[in-house]
Each structure stands twice: as structure tokens, then as C-alpha cells.
């Protein structure tokens, strides 16, 4: 049988058509619009230390935010109740945000990983981890000026001992909280849908005892990931 004269050209066209699909499949990370932050440096286009302000017993001090050794460090100085806070420059809509972090070993402190837009209590989705080995975590939402949900869970490990993955998965009208891939809480009402800034902080609330750490401590963040809704 004689070969079809156009066959080599057709095969080349088909092969070239497959290349973009193969390249896309090899990409590891969020789709366009998301990010993977590994804190090789503090990118001013993505992050900004919070301006000085009072939060609970703490004065949030931008000098307590630093990047070193490929990690974000939110510092608590020995003998002080001053805290630290970092926020995203842009807002994030629905999707999944994950932080791989180790909590500061400082009893009476809280480490927060949350989504927020001012004023207080208007729109907020919180993970707050207590800074001691007992492994307690609070999940909270605020919507339209009121607290709509709050619950405490036992993590089952010491959050000050090692890095763990904490995740907030937002979909329209609902939110789920996970730790190391295990869903702990899901709510399907009272959840803000607005685009919110992402925050990481460590501070001393008034409802805890207010004991300052004996020496310097820090909440260390190894990585933050944002995957927009519909990209997976």
C-alpha cells in the first residue's frame, strides 16, 4: 500500500498539538491566580507587616516580622507581650489557603492564620492555635458584624513541637477547616463570601493569663499556599 502523502505533516501537527497539554500536566502548584510562598524573601508585592496597633494585651510591632533561612518568623521577645503580624497586600476570594507552620512555645499566646476585612467582626474566618503543648485550636467566623460560629478542638499533638499544615477551604456560603489533611470543622451558613486579606500573627489575648515568654520565641512559617476555587 502506498503511504498517504500528507501523513508525515499530519503527524507533526498532531504531535505539536499535544505539547502544551503535556507541559500543563507537569506543572506542580496552584493554577494562575494562586501562589506558593516559600519565604526565600519577603515579597513586598504580596506581603506587608501590619502597622503598629494594639491587639489584646499586645502591641503589634512590624520589627517582629522577619524572614530568615527560608522561613517567616513572627517573633515574641523575651519578657515582652509585643506581637507580630503579616498580611497579604491583595485580597483572596474563594479557594483554599494552607500554612505550614510551627507555633511559638509561649503559653498565653495565640498564633492566628485567618482571612479578614475591617471593621472588626464584619468579615472574618479564623484559625487560632494556643501556644502551648496541649494542642488546642479555635475555629471562628464573623459575618455582617457578628460572631456566627466558634468552636474549640483538640489537635491531638503538640503544635509547638513540629511543623503542621493548617488549611481553610472557602466555597460560596461555606468553609471547612483542616489540619494535616484531616477536616475538623465544616460550616454551611454564616460564612462571609467577600474577598478578604490573608493574615498570620502571634499575640497575647486578654482572656488568657498574659505571661510573657522567658526568652525569645517565634511562630515559624515554612510555606503558604493559595489555590483559587475551581482550579483543582
Q: Report DSSP letters for 79-121, one per residue.
A: T---BEEEEEEEEE-SEEEEEEEE----TT-EEEEEEEESSTT
Residue 56 resides in a domain: yes
Residue 195 resides in a domain: yes
Residue 171 resides in a domain: yes
Cis preceding linkage at 119, omega within 30: yes
CA gap 52, 83 in Å, rounded? 10
In 3D space, the residue among 204, 164, 165, 168 whose CA is nearest the CA of residue 64 turns out to be 204
Residue 14 resides in a domain: no
Read off the C-alpha cell for 73. 518568623
Q: What is the CATH number of the domain that holds 207?
A: 2.60.120.200
Residue 57 resides in a domain: yes
Residue 13 resides in a domain: no
Q: What is the pTM of this model?
A: 0.85
Per-residue tens of pLDDT for the chain, all 232 residues? 333 334 443 333 333 333 333 333 222 334 457 999 999 999 999 999 999 999 999 999 999 999 999 999 999 999 999 999 999 999 999 999 999 999 999 999 999 999 999 888 899 999 999 999 999 999 999 999 999 999 999 999 999 999 999 999 999 999 999 999 999 999 999 999 999 999 999 999 999 999 999 999 999 999 999 999 865 4
In 3D space, the residue among 204, 213, 206 whose CA is nearest the CA of residue 110 turns out to be 204
Domain extent at residue 117: 33-228
Residue 9 resides in a domain: no
Count structural domains, the chain. 1
Amino acid at each position: 500500500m502506498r503511504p498517504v502523502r500528507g501523513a508525515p505533516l499530519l503527524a507533526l501537527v498532531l504531535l505539536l498539538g499535544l505539547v502544551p497539554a503535556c507541559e500543563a500536566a507537569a506543572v506542580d502548584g496552584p493554577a494562575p491566580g494562586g501562589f506558593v510562598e516559600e519565604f526565600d524573601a519577603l515579597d513586598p508585592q504580596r506581603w506587608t507587616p501590619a502597622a503598629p496597633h494594639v491587639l489584646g494585651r499586645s502591641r503589634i510591632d512590624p520589627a517582629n516580622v522577619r524572614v530568615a533561612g527560608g522561613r517567616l518568623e513572627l517573633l515574641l521577645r523575651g519578657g515582652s507581650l509585643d506581637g507580630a503580624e503579616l498580611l497579604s497586600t491583595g485580597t483572596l476570594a474563594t479557594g483554599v489557603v494552607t500554612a505550614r507552620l510551627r507555633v511559638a512555645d509561649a503559653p498565653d499566646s495565640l498564633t492566628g492564620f485567618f482571612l479578614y476585612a475591617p471593621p472588626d467582626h464584619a468579615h472574618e474566618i479564623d484559625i487560632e492555635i494556643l501556644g502551648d503543648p496541649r494542642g488546642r485550636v479555635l475555629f471562628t467566623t464573623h459575618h455582617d458584624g457578628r460572631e456566627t460560629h466558634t468552636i474549640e478542638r483538640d489537635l491531638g499533638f503538640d503544635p509547638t513541637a513540629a511543623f503542621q499544615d493548617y488549611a481553610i477551604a472557602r466555597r460560596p456560603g461555606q468553609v471547612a477547616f483542616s489540619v494535616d489533611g484531616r477536616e475538623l470543622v465544616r460550616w454551611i451558613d454564616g460564612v462571609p463570601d467577600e474577598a478578604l486579606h490573608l493574615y498570620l500573627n502571634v499575640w497575647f489575648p486578654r482572656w488568657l493569663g498574659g505571661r510573657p515568654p522567658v526568652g525569645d520565641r517565634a511562630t515559624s512559617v515554612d510555606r503558604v499556599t493559595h489555590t483559587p476555587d475551581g482550579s483543582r
